[in-house]
Amino acid sequence: MSQINFAAKLSYGMGSVPYAVKDAAFSTFVMLYYTQVLGLSGSLTGLAIFISVLWDTVSDPLVGAWSDRLKTRWGRRHPMLVAGAIPLGLSFVMLFHPVTSVQGTQLPLFFWLLVAVLSVRTFLTVFIIPHTAMGAELTDNYLERTSVVNFRTNLGWIFGVSLPAIALTVLFNSVDGSDGRFVVENYYQYGWASFAVVVVAALICIVGSRQFIPRLKEVAERANPTPGFKGMVADILETLKNMDFRRIMVLEIAVGATMGIQGALNMIAWTYFWGLSVGEVSVVLFASLPAVALMFPAMKWMAKRWEKQTLLRFAVLGLVLNTAWFVPGRLLGILPENGSSILFALIFVQASIGTALTILRTVNLHSILADIADEHELKTGRRQEGVFFAAAAFAVKFVMGFGYIVGGPLLDYVGLAGVAPEDASTEALFGIGVFMGPVMLLFLVIPWWMAMRLQVSQKRLDQVQSQLNARKAISV
């Protein structure tokens, strides 16, 4: 199957929404909610998130390998999508609705948060790893693979931005001068809203992508995994022998480190460092939508004119430059003071550019992974999309946890944890700025170097697929 129609891409792409809901929760609300509203120390908050990410080191590759090996009449991906959807939705309810008895405590609230984030990450893994792996199997066309990932990535961004932005306007709006971001009950409603979005989006994906099951089963028949648990572990380790895959892993770990720090501290930075109101934060979140509106059609145009690795290099270099001028500009006193309309416009523009570049990076990187899976099959005789995408997903999730293990203690260290915005010291705000600016800039030099060393191309993919087709013809 080379060409996939719009409706099929749309329904498949909706499967990215549960991951987007997770990103929205952790990048916008979790740190602020648990440290500034519920009173949990920043160090314990960061530790709970980091422990859950360590669990991902085990669960992600195992779920990926399990999905690659699963054999049912519904294929190897869809049963896992069904199994993960509703428990994932309920995990968000638990995350944002700790029972009253643990609120205002330290260790009991820490363990509640730990169990909640472990649940979110485990059931997200069960759902999202098979889903992203499926995207690499829907077509073997070089350009069409980019189109599939384009739908998946942009739909994720739309929902990941819209959910918290709408929630800030509807659920967290100020009442009688009280900032809705500091009202516990508002987070209960957000948890249930997350549940609804996750379950509905998952259902659309599962039902809409059923038509691909015959195609998926046909691809799965070529998997030829090594038997037994030891064989599964050996197959997982085998993927790391691919040099381009290792480069992508390093690239994603370094990019993810910046995303992790930013995600953990985003709402803190907007509220304290930039002094934005609830309404202004909502508008900044919506800044991603113009970027999505631009990148969604532009990806097809760019993919026809430039190789994937070229676009990936451009995206990473753009992220370096977009980071270099923003927070450092404030630390150096170049940007306008908080509260000015010019500063708010600059924040909006910087966020839009960052989203556009992140979409460009994600789409091309995941499309390259699908091509690497073909090359791996040619070399080993095994189809291991699940393991490849599990490893890539873990790289991002690990450093997102790194952001919390750094960001949480940072709030304690600079004296910002539990402090109202109007009471924040200049030294504390400077410390936040250093991590949101210069530190992230240093991390981004690494992915640019890795992107420059990638050895992938459409010509190489055509050669690989030609040899795979010849092999299949002989086996028939």
Does the pLDDT value for residue 222 go beyond 70?
Answer: no
Residues shown for the chain? 476
Two tokens, residue 287: 């800044």
Overall average pLDDT of the 101-118 stretch = 95
Q: 205-218 pLDDT, tens per residue? A: 999 998 888 887 77
406-58-65 Cα angle (round to 5): 135
Provide the residue ranges of all domains of the chain, joining segments of one domain with +: 13-475
Q: What pLDDT is recorded for position 18?
A: 94
Q: Is pLDDT above 90 for 263?
A: no
What is the predicted pLDDT for the residue at 434? 82
pLDDT at 476 exceeding the cut of 70: no
Region 82-92: what's the mean pLDDT?
96
Q: Predicted confidence band at 145 (pLDDT cuts at 50, 70, 90)?
A: confident
Please report the pLDDT score of residue 84 as a whole number. Answer: 94
Mean local confidence (pLDDT), 143-148: 85
**Does pLDDT of 451 surpass 70?**
yes
Cβ proximity of 219 and 137 under 8 Å: yes
In whole angstroms, give the CA distance from residue 338 to residue 446: 32
Query: Using one digit for the tens of pLDDT, what is the confidence trace for 357-396?
Result: 988 998 898 888 888 888 888 888 777 777 777 777 776 6
Note the pLDDT tens digit of each residue in 240-255. Answer: 788 888 888 888 888 8
User: For the segment 23-72, what is each residue's pLDDT rounded down to a tens digit?
Assistant: 889 878 898 899 889 999 988 988 898 888 888 877 888 888 888 888 88
pLDDT at 180: 85
Q: Is 276 left (phi over 0), alpha (psi -120 to 50) or beta?
A: beta
Position 114 pLDDT exceeds 90: yes
Q: What is the pLDDT of residue 220?
A: 66
Lowest-pLDDT range of 159-173, 253-267, 322-336: 253-267
Average pLDDT, the chain: 85
pLDDT of residue 302: 93
The pLDDT of residue 187 is 94
Task: State yes or no: pLDDT of 399 exceeds 70.
Answer: no
Q: Cα torsion for 57, 448, 377, 373, to the nearest 10°?
A: 70
Judged on CB neighbours under 10 Å (0-12, 13-18, 19+), 176 is exposed
* Top-confidence residue, 453 or 258: 453
13-475 is a CATH 1.20.1250.20 domain? yes
Q: What is the pLDDT of residue 21?
A: 94
* pLDDT over 90, % of the chain: 27
Q: In this predicted structure, which of 123-137, 188-202, 392-406 has the lowest mean pLDDT?
A: 392-406
CB-based contact 129:390 (threshold 8 Å): yes
Residue 400's pLDDT band (boundaries 50, 70, 90)?
low
For residue 285, pLDDT over 90 is answered with no
pLDDT surpasses 60 at 5:
yes
Confidence band, pLDDT 50/70/90 cuts, at residue 447: confident
